[in-house]
A and B are shown apart, each in its own frame.
Chain A
């Protein structure tokens, strides 16, 4: 049985992307309160008017760019001169001219939409993204760049991110710590570090580095990270009050406050409930990012009083998680799966898109090849994660690739069931049941499935009980074992709420299989 979506209580932990994409999302901007420098470019203009050479042209072009002046007759003349004397010019000068022309063409307001979306519409494209050779070439190139640019914190963060994709924790940690040493107050570095330490299950370290920075007292993006990470550890951040003050101060844009409002909203949701959380979530979506959309989508699935449809926020870049969850809820499996792929490519160290995507592909779309490929990609960053391993084995068995599951099953053997969280035990035991049944140990398989079902019943988790039962029944039908008849009556009477469209689909599939047997007979 596949694990669907691991997270029990979602927090607004910063999403970690490469620098260029993070910049373009606007999370690092600080455009309020700019004090303009006064520039005087009379000298280069006069010099150009006096003597027209490539040197005076370049001098004027540089000065105009730095001064932000692009509407001068003389500047246009100088640009023309450069183009007419290309043999004396350089690519850098041509690039600078292009930037000046760009600033003439568009409003200087930062663009946010339509710049990041990963165009991965086919599975073949996805495969190129997980090409091992290409990936190691990128890591090598980045490592060499970092060694050349020892004082550049951004490239060290990028190296840590790449190492995280392949679960090289020690190397990744060395790289992120180098970045933190170079830039201990930088928003990008700190937020990346927070996600890094949370990903490797060391949120204490994330809090340590946040606390070390003075910026955590004044930057809403960092205050939010501190509140959410503390909450993961069931602690109250000392910056909660600061967070509320920052919101009240009205010194920050709605976009700068989106994660802070969402973090505080989540806190209120857990502590006080709907009424206090609602205004904060309302603030969080005045100008949301992908993280806050996903957060509200998760909250709305937890509490139906939050009416929310993230799909109307199509202009918010990289909202793949929120869209995947919403499409999943609506039963649009194909769209949900595509968003899982994009979500994974956006954050390849994250296991949640792998779990949800592989579940959808293997159980609902019955595209086991796609599920296996996604799992194999996800295993790189999470090689010891029991849920990713579970879904890999499940997908392989659904694809009748029993021979391939051996190494993973050996890994299973080392796992102590009592060490697993309760929900995971149900899924894990059911998958052991599946392995046994596919390995022709029918009786043992049956026992394991039944244990999983009764365990789910004991925990009162109807969703997992139904899921286990449907999987069990399906296997019995495939094995043409009449015991499935004991289950089918129960399955036909299954109560399914609207939120469980996956259960409805799986139930219909099983009933169809059962009816098919009847017709065959």
Chain B
């Protein structure tokens, strides 16, 4: 038997409410990670998703660290994520994957018997399970999903949380994929609670989705600006992924000379940023051309341009730059624009089907 209580929850009933149905294989979890073991649980009516803290993974991940240090980190990380999730629940954030319960189970017979856990509403999967990059289909679904994500980010920012790890695997699907919610606050930052992974302001999320400035070791000193500009970039990059299957960072990397890429460049971000802009505009053009309808392509181009500009201080709507009472990184304008685009796209589809139907009728 493996000496890991986090792997031994199957069959148990937690808090007299949640029956642990089955363990999910690594990677199958919608909000999984290295630090957790995932399960399906049920309260008799609905299934839910349980994330149990995996102490052992922490030990293996941070070899060479003292036990006290590791325990301290684990405790802090767990407490931190729980605190953020509770804050989200208390504020009734509709587009962030919600915590249903949390607790700590004592499982006898293990070196470390306590298993802290979090229970989330059950997602059908993340967008990668449904998405196709053939853009003539499911355009309304994509726009609605992006609208949901933008609302989710807006909600998080409203309660002073920056997600920092927005990527396709963290966009979860609910209600037969009709609703998208942002999941996994494990790498999020909050202006009011010190995060254990703050790391001197360096990027907290998955580096393979990081905004370019972090790849060139540039850290914007102002917390609010850095965190919000990062979320804004990640959102723009997600739009690009929805339509092309490439994220903006990969696309910029593809469109610049290999010597300017983060793996080769020896200078500073300051020295390379102007060349990134050239690559950025090539990527934008490519993105626009990949969208089936020209008008929609142009509108999304404008959104991605303001979200993903390679310098963090030039992201956001230009009309809100240097204005005393407006937030440069606010999602309001983007949400409104996506709302309009959904309606336009729906109209176009309905109008198209109307013409087809009419044709069929006259033929008959």
Give residues in A with beta carbon < 8 Å to B.
19, 23-24, 26, 28-44, 46-47, 49-51, 53-56, 58-59, 61-63, 65-68, 82, 87-93, 95-96, 99, 103, 108, 110, 145, 149, 151-155, 182-183, 185-189
A47 touching B208, Cβ below 8 Å: no
B28 touching A51, Cβ below 8 Å: yes
B245 touching A152, Cβ below 8 Å: no
Give the total number of A-B pairs whose CB atoms are below 8 A apart.
185
Q: Which residues of B contact A63 (CB under 8 A)?
A: 206, 208-209
B254 touching A99, Cβ below 8 Å: yes
Task: Tell me the complex Cα distance, A53–B264, Å.
Answer: 32
A55 touching B274, Cβ below 8 Å: no
Task: Tell me the complex Cα distance, A150–B54, Å.
Answer: 50
Q: Which residues of A contact B246 (CB under 8 A)?
A: 58, 61-62, 90, 92-93, 96
Q: Given A37-B215, A50-B28, are A92 and B290 neighbors across the interface (CB < 8 Å)?
A: yes
B278 touching A37, Cβ below 8 Å: no
Task: Tell me the complex Cα distance, A65–B248, Å.
Answer: 12
B245 touching A151, Cβ below 8 Å: no
A152 touching B250, Cβ below 8 Å: no
A-B contacts, 22 of them at CB < 8 A, read: A23-B259, A23-B260, A34-B263, A37-B217, A43-B33, A46-B26, A46-B27, A51-B28, A51-B128, A53-B129, A53-B131, A59-B169, A66-B253, A88-B132, A90-B290, A92-B244, A93-B246, A96-B246, A151-B277, A154-B275, A155-B278, A155-B281
Task: Tell me the complex Cα distance, A34–B309, Å.
Answer: 23
Interface size class of B (residues with CB under 8 A): 35 or more
Q: Which residues of A contact B287 (CB under 8 A)?
A: 92
B133 touching A151, Cβ below 8 Å: no
Instruction: Give, as a whole number of angstroms, the nearest-CB distance from B215 to chain A.
Output: 6
B247 touching A91, Cβ below 8 Å: no
Closest residue on chain B to residue A65 by CB atoms: B250
A34 touching B245, Cβ below 8 Å: no
Q: Given A28-B275, A33-B266, are A91 and B131 neighbors across the interface (CB < 8 Å)?
A: no
Contact with A along B165-206 (1 / 0, CB 8 A): 001110000000000000000000000000000000000001
Which of B27, B167, B265, B272 has its CB near the most chain A CB atoms (within 10 A)?
B27
**Which of B131, B208, B278 contacts A67, CB < 8 Å?**
B208
Task: Tell me the complex Cα distance, A293–B270, Å.
Answer: 31
Instruction: Give, as a whole number of angstroms, the nearest-CB distance from B63 to chain A.
Output: 15
Interface residues of B in 239-269 (CB under 8 A from A): 241, 243-247, 249-251, 253-254, 257-260, 262-267
Task: Tell me the complex Cα distance, A247–B275, Å.
Answer: 26
The answer to whether the Cβ of B130 comes within 8 Å of any Cβ in the partner chain is yes
Task: Tell me the complex Cα distance, A340–B167, Å.
Answer: 54
Q: Which residues of A contact B47 (CB under 8 A)?
A: none
Q: Which residues of A contact B272 (CB under 8 A)?
A: 30
Task: Tell me the complex Cα distance, A29–B264, Å.
Answer: 9
The answer to whether the Cβ of B286 comes within 8 Å of any Cβ in the partner chain is yes
Q: Which residues of B contact A187 (CB under 8 A)?
A: 271
Task: Tell me the complex Cα distance, A186–B270, Å.
Answer: 9
19 A-B pairs besides A58-B246, A92-B287 with CB distance below 8 A are: A23-B257, A28-B275, A31-B264, A37-B207, A43-B169, A47-B169, A50-B25, A51-B27, A59-B167, A62-B245, A62-B250, A63-B209, A90-B243, A91-B244, A110-B259, A149-B277, A152-B277, A186-B271, A188-B274
The answer to whether the Cβ of B314 comes within 8 Å of any Cβ in the partner chain is yes
Task: Tell me the complex Cα distance, A62–B260, Å.
Answer: 18
Which of A30, A41, A53, A152 has its CB near the most chain B CB atoms (within 10 A)?
A30
Task: Tell me the complex Cα distance, A126–B287, Å.
Answer: 35
Q: Which residues of A contact B131 (CB under 8 A)?
A: 53-55
Task: Tell me the complex Cα distance, A61–B244, Å.
Answer: 12
Closest residue on chain B to residue A183 by CB atoms: B274
Closest residue on chain A to residue B216 by CB atoms: A37
The answer to whether the Cβ of B34 comes within 8 Å of any Cβ in the partner chain is yes
A154 touching B254, Cβ below 8 Å: no
A66 touching B244, Cβ below 8 Å: no
